[in-house]
């Protein structure tokens, strides 16, 4: 168990997580693993049933919805680390009282100002990084893991392949025209034998910390750009299941955070339109 937790903590650090976040995840996972072992199950072969039963166990202990959600979040991130996101699919759990606050995202004016500022600075790599995060919503770790071969640019359309650690395709995201334009220009500047799509100033694959440092001078972070991507899709009428698929959310409830909280009439309108 200790070796597994150490590997997870190291991965979290590479993902740019703070020490406090890593400590919180470690505590939640230790409790989960202890429960797994006590019930003669395997921490190395987790199943959806294990996760669901643990959620029920916490409810039976009268744990608060916030505590259960914290445990769920920790296990969800661990599942991503282990590349077993399917074990988190459709897990039922006690719902936390909503504070009706949507994830922090850029509005259209802020988004336009950001793009203008980074374009003005003229660093083509940084321009492509910002456009990629804004127009695909990928995680910072997924951005850093991209290889040149993961980008397919054809006449009129393009796509980027997000892969699992074993190289299999996790999901495919269509590219916007602006992103295709900048990606095409950027890739033309790369060496023929370059594997990583984005490299640092010292010629190595760019790190999550390197991306965070670059974005800091524009007063944004990768999470905010990802939230902006999801928020704008929802605001433009894209259904939640599609947004979840594009964002790589294993639990559609995570995606529902981006739905407008003051628009219950949308559901009423759908019923009236369907059964009129």
- How does pLDDT run along the chain (276 residues), one tens digit per residue? 888 899 999 999 888 888 888 999 999 999 999 999 999 999 899 999 999 999 988 887 888 888 898 999 999 999 999 999 899 988 887 765 555 466 789 999 999 999 999 999 999 999 999 999 999 999 988 999 999 999 999 877 899 999 887 778 889 999 999 999 999 999 999 988 899 999 998 889 998 888 988 999 999 999 899 999 999 998 888 888 888 889 888 777 778 888 766 555 555 665 566 564
Residues sharing a CB contact under 8 Å with residue 226, sequence separation 6 or more, in sequence order: 133, 137, 138, 139, 247
Residues sharing a CB contact under 8 Å with residue 118, sequence separation 6 or more, in sequence order: 126, 127, 130, 218
**Residue 271: its pLDDT value, please?**
59
Report how far residue 215's alpha carbon sits from residue 143's, in angstroms, rounded to the nearest whole number.
Answer: 13
Q: Where in the chain is the domain with CATH 1.10.150.130?
A: 2-88
pTM, full prediction: 0.64
**Residue 103: its pLDDT value, please?**
79
Q: Which CATH class is domain 2-88?
A: mainly alpha
Q: What is the fold of 108-257?
A: hpI Integrase; Chain A (1.10.443)
**Residue 229: its pLDDT value, please?**
93
**Residue 254: its pLDDT value, please?**
79
Q: Where in the chain is the domain with CATH 1.10.443.10?
A: 108-257
List 174's β-bridge partners, or say none.
Answer: 159
């Amino acid at each position: 168990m200790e070796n597994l937790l150490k590997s997870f903590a190291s991965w979290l650090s590479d993902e740019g997580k703070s020490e406090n976040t890593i400590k919180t995840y470690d505590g939640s996972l230790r409790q989960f693993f202890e429960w797994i072992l006590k019930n003669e199950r395997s921490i190395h072969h987790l199943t959806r049933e294990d996760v669901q039963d643990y959620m029920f166990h916490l409810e039976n202990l009268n744990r608060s919805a916030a505590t259960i959600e914290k445990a769920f979040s920790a296990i969800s991130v661990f599942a991503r680390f282990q590349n077993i996101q399917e074990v988190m699919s459709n897990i039922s759990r006690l719902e936390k009282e909503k504070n009706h606050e949507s994830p922090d995202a850029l509005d259209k004016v802020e988004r336009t100002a950001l793009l203008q500022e980074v374009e003005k600075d003229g660093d083509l790599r940084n321009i492509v990084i910002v456009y990629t995060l804004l127009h695909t919503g990928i995680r910072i770790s997924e951005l850093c893991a991209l290889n040149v071969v993961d980008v397919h640019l054809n006449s009129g359309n393009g796509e980027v392949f997000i892969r699992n650690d074993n190289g299999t395709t996790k999901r495919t995201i269509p590219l916007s025209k602006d992103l295709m334009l900048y990606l095409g220009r950027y890739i033309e500047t790369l060496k023929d034998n370059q594997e990583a799509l984005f490299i640092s100033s010292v010629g190595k694959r760019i790190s999550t910390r390197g991306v965070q440092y670059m974005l800091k001078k524009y007063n944004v972070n990768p999470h905010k750009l990802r939230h902006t991507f999801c928020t704008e899709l929802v605001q433009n009428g894209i259904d939640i299941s599609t947004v979840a698929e594009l964002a790589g959310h294993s639990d559609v409830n995570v995606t529902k955070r981006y739905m407008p909280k003051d628009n219950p009439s949308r559901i009423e309108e759908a019923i009236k339109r369907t059964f009129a």
